[in-house]
Structure 1
Amino acid sequence: MSIAQKLQREHLAEVVPYASARRTMSGGSVWLNANESPYSNDYQLNSDNLNRYPAFQSTELNQSYAEYAGVNEQQVMSCRGSDEAIELLIRAFCEPGSDQIIVCPPTYGMYAISAQTHGAAVKQIPLRTADWQLDLEALLPALQQTKLVFLCSPSNPLGNTLASADIQQVLETAKNTLVVVDEAYIEFCPDATLATWLERYPNLVILRTLSKAFALAGARCGFALANSDIIEVLKKVLAPYPLPDLTVQVAVQALSRTGLQRLQQQVSSILEQRAQLLQQLSALPMQIVADSDTNFILLQVDNASELIDYVKQQGVLIRNQSAQVGLAECVRISVGNNTENRQLIAALNSFYGESL
């Protein structure tokens, strides 16, 4: 046994790290496995202050995002992607070894992994498979013993949104529980946002990111939106300089009038490509699992591993979701640009042509 194995916290011996798209797959020329934007945009960077530490919280960035999200600046905290916000929520509000969080699988895996890393328990209350909505009959009674409940809407990996009436019932039932709604994909269905609910519900937290629709996955910029008392507690466990100066510069430009106009144009293009892709996929022997309100599509196939290996040989990377609760033999495909989607369809047609 190595010294690291001897000295690590006991519970970490059983923790399996998150298998990100970049960590588990490499190669290929068409990356449709990480729900990234197919667009790469140019930004102007100023290096004058790179010899100085950045601000703990950039006033310019937080004001820009507050205006964009329709909240006030005191309700915004910027951080290194929404992944860091998940981590901070658990570190700030869950006592190791005694508190638990609730997740509703199939859902984003980092909620559970962040809790396990910190020593918090994870209670799973799966979505109803009939409609992929919250199982309120099972969820509501469990809220009284829980510090945090994570609700992913729009869902990753399903792609659908959760019923707002159900989330409202959770908020009203769990007055002593933080209800964290992950809106990483909200730009693809902006009418579904719950940001306007912050004034009504002191226990609501909303997670946002610039990684998806804003095409800034490499910049690592995310936000927690909550009432100021929650934000102040989160800041107690936030690193002294969470966002690099270059990230702040890029994020502010992305949130400018020009940047937001470009965002709308690119979202519209992705939605058009999604509609075309859905039509093409409907001609193949695969089944759409849920209606998508995002930039990806979840499909059930006969043999997920075989399909993924085959299209990878054609240079196309897609994501296996078969390990998720209720998603046996399911693959997730990000919507690319027209060229990437045509390469995907060609690879799929070739696979099914050879398998028939």
Structure 2
Amino acid sequence: MPPSPKPHIKDIKPAFHGGASFSRQASSFFIKEGVLDFSTCCNPYGPPKSISQALRNADAEHYPDPDCNKLANLLSQKEAVTPANLIIGSGSTELIRLAATAYSGPGDMVIIPYPTYGEYELASKIAHTQIVRYQIKEKNGFKLACGEFIAHAKLHNPAIIFLCNPNNPTGQYLGLHDIERILNSFPDTLVVLDEAYIAFTDGAWNSGHLLAKDNLLIVRSMTKDFAIAGLRLGYGMASETIITNLKKVRPPWNVNSAAQEAGLAALSSGDYTAQCADRIRVCKTYLTEKLAGMGYLCVPTLTNFFMFKTGNASQFQKQMLAKGILVRDCTSFGLPAYVRVAPQGVTK
């Protein structure tokens, strides 16, 4: 008889993601070459040209710097923090796993507002924690009712609160006052603030000064900002104590040399991401206006993606795919009537 995993691992299922899934290509969900992919929320204009040269310079022979010192130093200048306040990850999702591993375990409660990014739940299940859901209401435009959320969370004394801001898939963005209220209400709880889409968010406020609270981990995604999903690169910012604890459970050499070189080139690309954000905003306005003209209800957002109601998201996705367009069916988020789309550029 083969060995069995721990009981809490046995029934875990992977989180569902958008994009062309290689595991589904043998099924009816085969993604043909040339299909326009509106289901992923990365920068649609591709990486800065400097990244191609950086990849050619990557050292494949030797182990990468385990602490990504060059990248951390450059990021510290960009974010106005010390390198000791930074941890670099193989994508922001790795940092979410590290947070759950270091700060939660059996008997702990983790609070997750739903619908949201599925990796928070998966990371919590792997850590064998108890997940407490807070349902964000459709009738409120999918906006988090901060006071109600705090009251709900206080009933459970959570070890971790996961907040996606702006939230995936709803696109709703919490203001500084709401985040401060949550941090102040739970001084002994790690608040993981996932800002994966902050570079493409209108009116974004700077969360960096909140690191003085000592119970905050801010997670960012260079993967999405610079269109390097194939390399995987993200970073976290927190107090030195939190960063030290995350590094205790971090795999060695977790960020490969190519990703580190790409990150250095990306951070030296000037206002590339801001220029892309301006173009994305134009495309998003065009899409929402056209869809509204066709009678679809688009959920207003301040970021680079939005949802609209179709009635049957799974059926709508299949119909669009037959026309060469891939959208994100939000059924896996618990929203079977909605799809999520992200603009893919004027030329597309």
TM-score, length-scaled by structure 1: 0.88
* Alignment match of 1:305 (pick from 283, 290, 314): 314
1:292 maps to 2:314: no
Query: Residue by residue, what CA displacement relative to the aligned partner does 1:76-95 show, whole Å, maximum 9, x if unpaired?
Result: 10011110000000111112
Is the CA contact 1:71–1:196 (under 8 Å) kept in the aligned structure 2? no
* Alignment match of 2:144 (pick from 119, 133, 137): 133
Query: Residue by residue, what CA displacement relative to the aligned partner does 1:46-105 show, whole Å, maximum 9, x if unpaired?
Result: 45732110111122101222222232221110011110000000111112x211211001
The equivalent of 1:195 in structure 2 is 208
Q: Using the alignment, how far apart are the partners of 2:118 and 2:68 within structure 1? A: 29
Q: Using the alignment, how far apart are the partners of 2:278 and 2:188 within structure 1? A: 39
1:7 maps to 2:24: no
Q: Using the alignment, how far apart are the partners of 2:58 and 2:100 within structure 1? A: 36
Which has the higher mean CA deviation after the structures are superposed, 85-94 or 266-275? 266-275
Q: Using the alignment, how far apart are the partners of 2:174 and 2:63 within structure 1? A: 40
1:153 maps to 2:165: yes
Is the CA contact 1:108–1:157 (under 8 Å) kept in the aligned structure 2? yes
Q: Using the alignment, how far apart are the partners of 1:158 and 1:267 within structure 2? A: 19
Q: Which amino acid aligns with 2:338?
A: C
Q: Using the alignment, how far apart are the partners of 2:209 and 2:99 within structure 1? A: 21
Q: Which amino acid aligns with 1:294?
A: T
Deviation at 1:244, TM superposition (A): 0.6
The equivalent of 1:212 in structure 2 is 224
Deviation at 1:14, TM superposition (A): 2.4
Q: Which amino acid aligns with 2:241?
A: D
The equivalent of 2:59 in structure 1 is 49
* Alignment match of 1:99 (pick from 108, 119, 130): 108
1:27 maps to 2:34: no
Question: Aligned in 2, Cα 1:138/1:251: closer, same or farther, shift over 3 Å?
Answer: closer
Q: Using the alignment, how far apart are the partners of 1:127 and 1:260 within structure 2? A: 37
Is the CA contact 1:181–1:206 (under 8 Å) kept in the aligned structure 2? yes
Deviation at 1:193, TM superposition (A): 3.4
Structure 1 gap segments, 5+ residues each: 341-356
Q: Which amino acid aligns with 1:14?
A: D
The alignment covers a number of residue pairs equal to: 331
Question: Aligned in 2, Cα 1:134/1:67: closer, same or farther, shift over 3 Å?
Answer: farther
Alignment of 1:248-267 (within 5 A): 248-256=260-268, 259-267=269-277
Q: Which amino acid aligns with 2:205?
A: A
Question: Aligned in 2, Cα 1:184/1:318: closer, same or farther, shift over 3 Å?
Answer: same
Query: Residue by residue, what CA displacement relative to the aligned partner does 1:114-137 show, whole Å, maximum 9, x if unpaired?
Result: 111221111101224314123432
| Partner SS, residue 13 of structure 2 | coil
| Partner SS, residue 292 of structure 1 | coil
Which has the higher mean CA deviation after the structures are superposed, 97-106 or 149-158? 97-106
Query: Residue by residue, what CA displacement relative to the aligned partner does 1:15-37 show, whole Å, maximum 9, x if unpaired?
Result: 12112224355414211112122
Is the CA contact 2:327–2:340 (under 8 Å) kept in the aligned structure 1? yes
TM-score, length-scaled by structure 2: 0.90
Which has the higher mean CA deviation after the structures are superposed, 52-61 or 68-77? 68-77
Query: Residue by residue, what CA displacement relative to the aligned partner does 1:203-261 show, whole Å, maximum 9, x if unpaired?
Result: 011010112222122220001110111000000011110111011001100001xx132
Question: Aligned in 2, Cα 1:54/1:160: closer, same or farther, shift over 3 Å?
Answer: same
Q: Using the alignment, how far apart are the partners of 2:77 and 2:303 within structure 1? A: 23
* Alignment match of 1:40 (pick from 31, 36, 46): 46
Q: Using the alignment, how far apart are the partners of 1:198 and 1:140 within structure 2? A: 23
1:221 maps to 2:233: yes
Structure 2 gap segments, 5+ residues each: none
| Partner SS, residue 205 of structure 1 | strand
Q: Using the alignment, how far apart are the partners of 1:168 and 1:297 within structure 2? A: 26
The equivalent of 1:111 in structure 2 is 120
Query: Residue by residue, what CA displacement relative to the aligned partner does 1:285-338 show, whole Å, maximum 9, x if unpaired?
Result: 21112x22222111111222221101101111101113434x340000111012
Q: Using the alignment, how far apart are the partners of 1:48 and 1:64 within structure 2? A: 17
Question: Aligned in 2, Cα 1:100/1:8: closer, same or farther, shift over 3 Å?
Answer: same
Identity %: 26
The equivalent of 1:337 in structure 2 is 345
1:175 maps to 2:183: no
Q: Which amino acid aligns with 2:210?
A: W
Is the CA contact 1:186–1:193 (under 8 Å) kept in the aligned structure 2? no
| Partner SS, residue 204 of structure 2 | helix
Which has the higher mean CA deviation after the structures are superposed, 150-159 or 29-38? 29-38
Deviation at 1:141, TM superposition (A): 5.1
